[in-house]
Structure 1
């Protein structure tokens, strides 16, 4: 029983990460209804930039660890959001309301640019952060098998869930959220009411980039590094998860993503680890086929 409780505890940080990534992806997707791989690329890019500037702050600027992490986080957030706004204005906005295939192709191009930029900036090195906030916190004091999480796991999960809650509050209760919903429901009618759908898309994309940046920073803080390939696996999973949980409803997408994070953790605990991603992607594809509804997308 204690082992099962430990796996449930282990699932909390993973579920929170998936939830916040799916939420951010759905914020941008809902405006255009176009699948986009850029969100996962921005997530990985933020993690790599965070680790890169942590290395700069520690080894070149001789900052203490808290100042190093703050400096790296600020730079990663700035670069990632800046890249997201640039992509939204120059690449995605002209294509966002046209063919879905053109958006996918463009997002692949953006993905490659971000990946190569991060690789060249790090000089193809694998950089690692020092351990911090890794003291265990006992959740269930069982002498035979204590259930624990580290401080950084609990802090990351709390921050990610708070980000989802804050984002949902903005969408549900503010004027900006009402404008976002108006464009998501019917951009033509919204334009007739004086709303610029293109501007709303850029702002939504910037918000999604900000969520991806924070997620990448927190994930790199916990894992110690960020490999671009691993980051993209998260992004592709989120794309599938959001398609099932409700791409047009960020909170539902976040809930579906959290459920997949729980299932993935339990598979890692009780099933063969080598088959984990195959099982997760296979299950997502099956569920997507079963719940798919034929619909004309304008």
Structure 2
């Protein structure tokens, strides 16, 4: 029982990262109704940029580790902010009236560009952060022997605060009402004096900030974030949101968190090599089941 509980508790960290990515993805998709493959790439790009900038501050600028981490965070925030603005202005703005597949291809091209940019910046090498805040903290009492590290607890807490703050904005402020209005009826919203393009740009920037935060938290915990990891995370979030709903950010975040816990349990009892295949198979099954239910309701 203790082993099961430890796996369940460990899954909360992956659940927090997945929830952040899913929340950010639906912030965009709820407005554009287009498949976007760039957020997983931004997740990896944020983590890699943070690590590279931290390594530069540590080895070249001779900064202390806290200053180097702060320097890396600022550099990553600037680059991701520019990337988010470019996505809004150079991809979504000119392609908003095009077919759905156009955005898919454009964001895939952006993902490849970011991957090559990170590879060239790192000179095809891996840089690692030192372990930080890795001391175990008992979560169910010292006698139970179930613990999380300090960095895991911090990451989970940050994810909860961000998602809770996002929901507070979505449900209790005019910004959330405007987002829902543009999501439901962009043309009618424009007739009421709302600029859908401005709302979309703000949502894209907010989503990029959330995904960049997830990449930063992942880099702090794992010490390294590969681009392949970002692509896998992005594809999982795409399937999760497609299966669970593309118009409610909180619902998508909860579904993504559940997948993170399932992954942890699978890794504890079955082969890790088949973990991603099992998760994708489960998501495809749920998506097919949901599609069949929708078809039955229409009939």
2:40 counterpart of 1:40:
yes
Counterpart in the other structure of 1:131: 131
Q: Distance in 1 between matches of 2:212 and 2:279?
A: 25
User: Quick check: 1:81–1:213 contact (8 Å CA) kept in 2?
Assistant: no
Give the TM-score, by structure 2 length.
Answer: 0.95
Stretch deviating more after TM superposition (85-94 or 41-50): 85-94
Aligned 8 A contact 1:2 1:142 in 2? no
Query: 3-state SS of the aligned residue for 1:149?
Result: strand
- Distance in 1, matches of 2:124 and 2:41, equals 17
Aligned to 1:10: 10
Which residues in structure 2 correspond to 1:216-295 (within 5 Å)? 216-292=215-291, 293=294
Given that residues 43 and 215 in structure 1 are in contact (C-alpha distance below 8 angstroms), is that contact kept between their aligned partners in structure 2? yes
Structure 1 stretch displaced more, 210-219 or 173-182: 173-182
Let me know the Cα RMSD of the aligned residues.
1.2
**In 2, Cα distance between the equivalents of 1:96 and 1:131?**
44
Structure-1 separation of matches of 2:96 and 2:11: 35
Distance 2:202 2:97 in 1: 15
Structure 2 match to 1:29: 29
Mapped to 2, the partners of 1:172 and 1:38 lie a distance apart of 27
Structure 1 residue 70: Cα displacement: 1.2
Q: Which runs of 5+ in 1 are unaligned?
A: none
Shift of 1:139: 2.1
Q: Is the 8 A contact 1:92 1:106 kept in 2?
A: no
Structure 2: unaligned runs, 5 residues or longer: none
* Counterpart-to-counterpart distance in 1, 2:205 and 2:97: 17
CA distance in 2, matches of 1:286, 1:62: 52
What is the rounded CA distance, in whole Å, between the counterparts of 1:142 and 1:202 in structure 2? 48
Partner Cα distance (2:153, 2:142) in 1: 19
Distance 1:102 1:252 in 2: 27
Task: Provide the residue aligned with 1:95 in structure 2.
Answer: 95
How far did 1:140 drift?
A: 3.5
1:246-267 alpha-carbon deviations (Å, 9 max, x no partner): 1110000001001111111111
Q: How high is the TM-score relative to the length of structure 1?
A: 0.95
| Maintained 8 Å contact 1:267/1:273 | yes
Matches within 5 A, 1:69-80: 69-80=69-80
Mapped partners of 1:177, 1:6: distance in 2: 37
